[in-house]
Amino acid sequence: MPQLSLHTPLGDLTLSEEDGAIVALDWGRGRDQDSTPLLLRARAQLQDYFDGTRTAFDLPLAPHGTAFQRKVWDALCTIPAGQTRSYLDIARQVGCRAPRAIGQANGSNPIPILIPCHRVVAANGALGGYSGGEGAATKRYLLDLERPASEADTLFTAAARPAQRRSRS
């Protein structure tokens, strides 16, 4: 299975391709690197996302999972960048009575970020869990990255925080 890694502010990520579609995004650097046209396109789109110039992805995705999981993951893809939905909202959207099942499907998402499971929070607004990277800190980073410009820090509050370096590879 072709794989290609990239360095991000969250550390190294590795994309995997199968039959012309992205099937996985994993934390860490893959052992083998294969620069297929699709993986190069996916890497470029992710780099643009982390640079703040992209809010949506245009990539063929084929996550392996049950029919229910795929239904949930499809629903996650309808959440616009900069917005969140509750587990209960997604449960209602897919016709499920158990928000906990939505949480389990989120945790099984093999293509995080591209399938934005980080945009799902608890009904009371609490962050909830996240299975990728550093857990809740990674989820918070992704949600902050996607905040609309109108909610972004002002020059004065942004200047109080140290800048993060981003590199492409």
Classify residue 117 by burial, with Cβ atoms within 10 Å: 0-12, 13-18, 19+.
Answer: buried
Residue 77 annotated in active site: no
What is the token pair recorded at 163? 């800048």
User: What is the Cα 59 distance to its own chain's centre?
Assistant: 13
Q: How many helices (DSSP H) and strands (DSSP E) are in the chain?
A: 6, 5
Q: Are 132 and 140 in contact (CB under 8 A)?
A: no
Q: Hey, which bits of 42-106 come out as E strands?
A: 85-86
The one catalytic residue in 117, 120, 143, 145 is 117
Known catalytic residues are: 117
